[in-house]
Amino acid sequence: PEGDTAPRPAATSVDERFTRFDRHPGYQQLKMMREGGKRLGIPDPFFKVHESTAGATTVIGGRECINFASYNYLGLAHHPRVIQAGIDALERYGSSVSASRPVSGERPIHHELERAIAETYEVEAAVAFVSGHATNVSTLGYLLGPKDLLLHDEYIHNSTVVGAQLSGARRMSFSHNDPVALETLLARHRRQFERVIVVIEGLYSMDGDAPDLKRFVEIKQRHQAWLMVDEAHSFAVMGDRGLGLREYCDVASTDVDIWMGTLSKTLSGCGGYIAGCRELVEMLRYFAPGFLYSVGMPAQVAGPSLAALQVMKDEPERLKRLHDISRYFLEQARLKGFDIGESIGVAVVPIIVGSSVLAAGLSDALLQHDINVQPILHPAVPEKSARLRFFLNCDHTREQIDQTLEVLETEWKARAS
């Protein structure tokens, strides 16, 4: 064949910065982080291996620890009914649905889960994706295009930003929890775009604070934009019945155009959902890329999430305990003079320590006392607001919290002197 004898183009010569993974800026950053940690004698705070279920307590390195690093807020990931639902679904449907949902991956348990989510939200329909991150990426990437605008809180989760990038829409952020800043942007830019979507979260997982939903609803209505609320950390957490931000702020569910949430937090599975009107959900089921081109959710994930939602309703004392213990943590942290930022004291409370080195050092010191709490370091948050981030759990006791804050105070003082 001609190809065998035809002269080949000259080989390409490229600087090795562009061919070697160890010259990639990401790897360079990782190396610097590790060397910095080593110099300061602070072990890598990431990828700690938990050898048991992770609720109010966990096992790390063979030792039982008080645990503040898992978002299993109602302790349902190890609830007997939730586990049994996983076993039943696995036995009934097997370990994989072996196809994407539109093309033979559909199982009754998907419908049961989606119906239960839609009913809980009091909206027409819901659809469940295999990943929470992919839910935002796919939904926003699909719904918006280059003539559209996405406005989001400056602290919005990465999945919304990536979804905006995929869509090609213009993207602007407004200052955290600031409806006035949002309205300024809408007044200035709304007319230049076709669709405009505003994305906020129900409970911000780094800060434990929440938006004033009523004001956001009023503003999006005035400027004819869609409002999407990411309830990853607020659904099944906020409100006396666990109905999320709408219950907490007393807003009708239909005042929000797109409810998004994850199955990975209180609902004790893995995946995400969109809940809203029938047209929205139908469209996503047929066309959203992360749904259409991805395998259907395994039944042993859907089953436990459905059971977790039911247990939340059947055992309302869990929510009450979560709210009570969160408030107790907030109050005690305040009494000790810790900076807890703007946390409202529901499930997530940060203690801002002011530098990444101190946050990592304190987290390591706490672990020596069998207390596991994740440090949140720059660049996840600005350097001066590096923090320890506490996820509360309905099974935490006051004694565990007293002990934790005591140890933290002592270790912090030791470093200050």
CA atoms within 13 A on the CB side of 64: 4
CA atoms within 13 A on the CB side of 366: 30
- Count of positions on this chain that bind ligand PMP (CB under 6 A): 14
CB of 301 to ligand PMP, least distance (A): 11
Nearer to ligand PMP, 69 or 407 (CB): 69
CB of 40 to ligand PMP, least distance (A): 28
Both structure tokens of 384: 């001066």
Nearer to ligand PMP, 376 or 407 (CB): 376
Nearer to ligand PMP, 139 or 264 (CB): 264
Q: What are the C-alpha distances in Å from 125 to residues 3, 116, 230, 250?
A: 57, 9, 16, 21
**Chain residue at closest Cβ approach to ligand PMP:** 132
Q: In 107-183, at which residue ranges do the beta strands (DSSP E only) sit? A: 125-129, 149-153, 170-174
CB of 264 to ligand PMP, least distance (A): 3
Check residue 232 for interaction with ligand PMP (CB under 6 A).
yes
Position 31: which residue type? Answer: K
Both structure tokens of 402: 């007293």
Determine phi and psi for 29, rounding to 5 degrees: -65, -45
Site string for ligand PMP, 146-185 (x = CB under 6 A): -----------x-x--------------------------
Q: Coil, strand or helix: which one is 240?
A: coil
Q: Coil, strand or helix: which one is 8?
A: coil
Both structure tokens of 224: 């004819």
Nearer to ligand PMP, 138 or 400 (CB): 138
CB of 234 to ligand PMP, least distance (A): 9
262, 356, 363, 393: residue in contact with ligand PMP (rule CB under 6 A): 262
The whole-angstrom distance between residue 4's C-alpha and the CA centroid of its chain comes to: 54
Q: Which stretch binds ligand PMP (CB under 6 A): 100-108, 109-117, 125-133, 215-223?
A: 125-133
Residue listed under structure tokens 């300061």: 40
CB of 272 to ligand PMP, least distance (A): 6
Check residue 201 for interaction with ligand PMP (CB under 6 A).
yes
Position 164: which residue type? Answer: A
264, 326, 372, 374: residue in contact with ligand PMP (rule CB under 6 A): 264
How buried is residue 21: exposed, middle or buried, by Cβ count under 10 Å (0-12/13-18/19+)?
exposed
37, 132, 239, 290: residue in contact with ligand PMP (rule CB under 6 A): 132
**CA 183/CA 143 separation, integer angstroms:** 22
Tallying the residues shown for the chain, one arrives at 417
Check residue 230 for interaction with ligand PMP (CB under 6 A).
yes
Nearer to ligand PMP, 50 or 334 (CB): 50
Nearer to ligand PMP, 183 or 230 (CB): 230
Question: What helix, strand, coil percent values describe the chain, rounded to 5?
Answer: 45, 15, 35
Nearer to ligand PMP, 201 or 370 (CB): 201
CB of 123 to ligand PMP, least distance (A): 19
Q: What are the C-alpha distances in Å from 380 to residues 155, 158, 281, 307, 362?
A: 10, 10, 32, 33, 17
Residues whose CB falls within 8 Å of the CB of residue 193, separated by 6 or more in sequence, listed in order: 147, 148, 149, 170
Check residue 272 for interaction with ligand PMP (CB under 6 A).
yes
Nearer to ligand PMP, 205 or 363 (CB): 205
58, 67, 173, 205: residue in contact with ligand PMP (rule CB under 6 A): 205
Position 384: which residue type? Answer: K
Nearer to ligand PMP, 140 or 365 (CB): 140
Q: Which residues bind ligand PMP (CB under 6 A)?
A: 131-133, 136, 157, 159, 201, 205, 230, 232-233, 262, 264, 272
